[in-house]
Chain A
Amino acid sequence: MNTSDRRLYWILLFPSLAILILFIAAPVGQSFFLSLHRMIIGLPHLGVSFVGLQNYGDLFNDPVARHSLWITLIFVGTTTFFELLIGLLLALLMHRQFPGRGGLRACILIPWAIPTVVSAQMWRFLFNDAYGMVNYALFGPEVSQYIPWLAIPSTALVSLIVADVWKTASFAALLILAGLQVIPDQLYESARVDGAGPWQRFWHITWPLIRPALLVALLFRTIDAFRVFDLAFVMTQGGPADATNVLQLYGYKKMFVEGWMGYGSAISVCVFVMALCLALVYVRVVGRRLLEAEA
């Protein structure tokens, strides 16, 4: 590569690099910087003092934070599992030839297109203990049987999980559908000629070939689920009894409600690092699978 090529290279790269630095590197850097300091919004005269890793030490010993991490992990695990499972079923359904397929594909994407705050508000109504449609669907007019979904710690978290699965299963479906569509039909034809049944065709052709797409969906969904905030913010505000106090919501409350800028930043940085580690692991695995699939 000669020098003028190299210059062009950098010129062309500059806009995207600038955007990345401005919108990703700078905020992350600032959060990290803040997380090494003690700074409380409501007590400005205490000033900003460098405290090293103390915020991280406190975070490690904070029972509320540990509880939040646990809640977040449960949320990530269950939502990702069900989203991929339902997404796979939806994708297989959408891949079949049948009249009205285009319309169905569009419909399935509607939940994904609705902003989360709006769908969270909708689910809050659906899960209402007095007139929610979930209770009505389950118990009809038997009001005495109605379950206050969002008022019991365990069911509140389940409600959040259901709302998230409803919203993003279609996104997983879309990614998996893309994987399905690149599988050549000849493979199925020859398998059929060889006498393979539907199950055998699925296990020996579809499954191995959509695995890369599945992994990509898994990557996106886990990282996204890790950063869940809006669902809990709208549906429960973290309650009852902190049962839905996911990490990002806890960080938000520490930072913007209580005013612990440093501590709140430490929480954000931890979420970022965990998501980054996950991403790195996935990218390595996915990358390898993709290469294998091509080879």
Chain B
Amino acid sequence: MGHHVFQLKTGRRHPCTPGWVTGAAMRAFLTISILFHLAVGLCPDLDAARADEATHIVFLTWKPNQPQAWDRLIERFERENPNIAVKRQIGPHSSTDYHAIVTQRLRNRDTSLDVFLMDAIWPPEFAAAGWAMDLSPQFFAAEQKDFLEGPIRANTWQGGIYGVPCYIGAGLFYYRKDLLQKYGFEPPRTWEEMLRQGEAVLKGENDPGLTVYSAQFKQYEGLVCDMMEFIWSNGGEAVAPATGNVLLDREAAVQAVSFVRDRIIGKAAPRGVLNYEEPESLALFIQGNAMFHRNWPYAWGLANAPEISRVAGKVEVTRLPSFKGHDSASTLGGWQFGINRYSRRPEAAWRFVQFMTSKASQRTLALKSGLAPARRSVYEDPLVRQNMPHLKAFLPAFEKARPRPRSPVYPMISQELQRYFSRAIAGQGADIAAMAKASAERIRRFVKLGNASLR
């Protein structure tokens, strides 16, 4: 009953950011503090007084894991641009809760907000609603080429580009190389192989605390990420990107979901994963109680930190397994900078975004806070290569990372997917095919609603 695990529990709340110091209580606290800030922001005198001194831009962010790296960048920006001051507002760490705050403000055409962060799944919504500024006049195609393709596509909507990638995330497969070596296994290529290896190791180790697999299966956004990886790696899809057809009730998708229920939950993974987000599932792995672990890039640093991890130095990372005859697939995550279309200082805001996503800044963010750069050229940087040799192992997953359904009404689709996935895998003996059919029908209505908003 080590109490140090408690600290771990307060870690990342959502799939696509490297949160590390937050929890639901923190989340609530931040929500309240944001409301307070909003109230303060309404006071016109304060705003006017500041505007006299210098242009100030408001940047709505969340509390980063390594705030020093961000502080340093913002200081450097203010030094280089003495006439622009950056005022930071801290929002909730959970992607879903941050979304609620930022959409409320953008909906109200709140001009006191200039720059905000976007999760990989938001640009279509923010673009279609007219909240995020189309950056194609200044974010040139030549410049876009230096960024990884996944994040650029995530920010592109109807011919415009609505965000500049800050850092990338994708589902990675962490494994215990010491255990695999001991039993003479190569990292598994298929899910079946993972289960077979797991069974053999469990038999050999005879450790009641050891389980095979640890990942995120709570009813929240992360569940969509994890389940889509199973579905894609079986050749399935939820919503076809090109046509918008809903394929959730097709054989390939239903099979993958059934596999998770029948072979993973309560078998390879403890039943408790049904209430696990990233921090809990990572805790299981770094306590040495799971052989394989699915997580985002941020987990690398923590799994190899000897102060908190019992398996530091015994961890290796690769692409996720797939079903036989299909390709491995990772869900695309990561965050982008967006600019409020109603910003009163769009030039200053763009200067700031440009600075934060420059090669030098991305390098700083990589080296000082372990975030995976969205720019290709940073991966070639000698210092980055020397200090973060593991980044090279991440790259194949980044290059092929796949987007969750792209739609202006993604939050609705996601809620429906979360409900379906959770009901399908939490209850034994449920008729998954029938549930998939009903769920697909509802998602079809959402997709149609989203399409109605297209030009």
Contacts and interface: CB of A to CB of B under 8 A. Distances in A.
Interface of A: 40-46, 64, 117-118, 120-121, 124-125, 128-131, 133, 136, 143-144, 148, 150-153, 156, 230, 233-243, 253, 256-260
Contact of B426 (A40, A44, A235, A240): A240
Interface string B265-278: 00000111111000
A117 B415 CA distance: 23
Interface in B222-276: 270-275
B224 to A, nearest CB: 13
Given A117-B28, A237-B220, A241-B426, A43 B130 contact: no
Interface of B: 1-2, 5-6, 9, 23-25, 28-29, 96, 99-100, 103-104, 107, 125, 128-130, 208-209, 218-220, 270-275, 280, 283-284, 287, 289, 408-409, 411-412, 415, 418-419, 422-423, 426-427, 449-450, 452-453
Contacts of B23: 121
B113 to A, nearest CB: 16
Given A42-B129, A43-B409, A152-B271, A234 B1 contact: no
Contacts of B412: 258-260
Given A42-B411, A144-B208, A242-B419, A121 B24 contact: yes
Contact of A237 (B9, B219, B287): B219
For B29, B274, B452, the residue with the greatest tally of chain A CB atoms inside 10 Å of its CB is B274
Contacts of B419: 64, 241-242
B240 to A, nearest CB: 21
B453 A46 contact: yes
A21 B28 CA distance: 27
A9 B270 CA distance: 66
Contact of A43 (B220, B418, B423, B449): B449
A224 B418 CA distance: 28
A233 B96 CA distance: 12
A151 B409 contact: no
Contact of B96 (A241, A242, A257): A257
A241 B284 CA distance: 23
A124 B25 CA distance: 11
Contact of B274 (A41, A121, A240): A240
A236 B125 CA distance: 27
Contacts of B1: 131, 133, 136
Contacts of A151: 271-275, 426
User: What are the 9 closest A-B residue pairs judged by CB atoms, nearest first?
Assistant: A239-B219, A129-B272, A148-B272, A151-B274, A241-B426, A234-B24, A240-B426, A150-B275, A256-B100
A234 B28 contact: yes
B103 A143 contact: no
B408 A148 contact: no
16 contacts: A40-B409, A40-B449, A43-B409, A43-B449, A45-B129, A46-B452, A117-B29, A130-B270, A130-B284, A150-B275, A151-B273, A151-B275, A152-B274, A156-B275, A234-B28, A257-B411
Nearest to A122: B25
A258 B104 CA distance: 12
Given A130-B284, A136-B1, A148 B422 contact: no
A148 B270 contact: yes
Contacts of A45: 129-130, 453
Chain B binding surface, main DSSP class? helix
A131 B2 contact: yes
Contact of A241 (B24, B411, B422): B422
Contacts of B422: 239-242
B25 A121 contact: yes
A150 B28 CA distance: 20
A239 B220 contact: yes
B99 to A, nearest CB: 7
A18 to B, nearest CB: 20
Given A121-B23, A125-B6, A129-B270, A43 B99 contact: no
Nearest to B409: A42
Given A43-B409, A241-B423, A257-B411, 13 more contacts: A43-B129, A44-B130, A117-B28, A118-B25, A120-B24, A125-B6, A130-B283, A148-B274, A237-B220, A239-B218, A239-B426, A242-B422, A243-B426
A129 B280 CA distance: 10
A259 B411 contact: yes
A148 B217 CA distance: 13
A253 B452 CA distance: 23
A238 B273 CA distance: 15
A173 to B, nearest CB: 26
B239 to A, nearest CB: 16
A242 B423 contact: yes
Contact of A258 (B270, B274, B289, B411): B411
A106 to B, nearest CB: 24
B283 to A, nearest CB: 7
A256 B411 CA distance: 10
Contacts of B130: 44-45
Contacts of B129: 41-45
B99 A257 contact: yes
A124 B128 CA distance: 38
Given A43-B128, A257-B100, A258-B415, A236 B284 contact: no
A250 B275 CA distance: 18
A233 B453 CA distance: 31
